[in-house]
Copies of this chain bind each other. A is one copy, B any other.
Amino acid sequence: MRQDVSLLRIPGPTPIPPSVERAMTQPMIGHRGEETKQLIQRIKPRLKKVFGTEEDIIFIAGSGTGGLETAVVNVANSNDEVLVLVTGSFGDRFAKICEAHDVNVHRLDFEWGEPVDVERVREFLINNKQIKAVFMTYCETSTGILNPIEEICRVVREESDALTVVDGVSCVGGVKTEMDKWGVDVLVTGSQKAMMLPPGLTFIGVSKRAWETIDQNESRRFYFDLRKYRDNLAKDSTPFTPALSLLFGLEQALTLMEEEGLENVYARHTLMMEMTRAAIKALNIPLLTTDEFAAPTVTAVKPDNFKADELRKVLKEKFNLSLAGGQQKLKGEIFRIGHMGYCTPADVLQIISLLEIGLHELGVAVELGKGVQAAQKVYLQQD
């Protein structure tokens, strides 16, 4: 039985809702036919709401990193000077992608587990007027930080003409996102996180202002050339064969999000975060991040009296429960609980209850049910 039970609680890929799975098995259609055109017409206006923008959202067959590279090669020319705000391994990846394209990268590195310090960004921009774009991570998946991108974007606008480029891969769809209001110029996300789909689709929102830069950008690009996608999307089409089965699923995932209501989706993620954090605190295990900047989609835990990877191992073996480990400099130091997409408060209670058993198995002194109780109390305290 265990082999047929899978509890996937990493920060993506995330479980697929049954109705989304069923939607993905619709009969295949021609990518240049009327069915695809109508599918795109139906999806277009609904995706905008998830991004909080009036502009069309572009989708490309590829993983999230493909979307991040699309942002880089369309916004920056080689030798342009850009600023990358690094709060973990995905900020680091943004910098590496820029460097792979010979973009001149200035990095502001922040402690892993801390958010971007907005005043350091302001100071840097005051002294570096040549910066063409600022790259940042909304939810830094590797640490569970939700960076204050609204505030960062405001400061970037106040101090420069730089474009703001945001990696929203592990939170858009699960966390309030207002591209237009916040002045985000380019926002990237992926399918396999809060969007409740398998990996293989990346989404890119682009502001009017960013299009001006993109139209003049001379970077070498073909598959990732956003202009081709924009021009085709205006005709409800795509320049290259789209990942049709994932688009079938997307339509149903959007239906689920709309039926729940986007505000309720966001509130559910916040609640799951609060329940998780309350439980971990009640169990006296240190959290990596502060409450103020904790991500509603993923919680990083930094134990001091047992090994993170041993807990992960026992939970995997006993319950087929997958939690994520640490990356790069946090490898072995933390474990991460994904609570996003197709995940409910009930699932959080299950995770915590299993986690308590895992701690018990490791010989850690733990009062069984204490974490669950704390999470239950948070659940019951909702308005």
Contacts and interface: CB of A to CB of B under 8 A. Distances in A.
The A interface, classified by DSSP as helix, strand, loop or mixed, is loop
Given A64-B240, A65-B223, A25 B28 contact: no
B13 A102 contact: no
A288 to B, nearest CB: 19
A241 interface: yes
Contacts of A224: 223
Interface stretch (A243-251, A279-287, A301-309): A243-251
Interface of A: 6, 8, 10, 12-16, 21-22, 24-25, 27-33, 60-66, 69, 72, 78, 96-97, 100-102, 190, 192, 198-201, 220-225, 239-246, 316, 322, 324
A240 B29 contact: no
Nearest to A72: B222
A25 B25 contact: yes
Contacts of A12: 241
Given A13-B29, A199-B31, A200-B61, A100 B66 contact: no
13 contacts: A6-B28, A13-B31, A14-B28, A33-B322, A61-B61, A63-B223, A63-B240, A63-B241, A65-B222, A72-B222, A101-B220, A200-B243, A200-B244
A159 to B, nearest CB: 29
Contacts of A64: 240-241
B15 A27 contact: yes
A6 to B, nearest CB: 5
B101 A222 contact: yes
Nearest to A64: B241
Contacts of A97: 222
B28 A15 contact: yes
A69 B72 CA distance: 17
A21 B14 CA distance: 19
A7 to B, nearest CB: 10
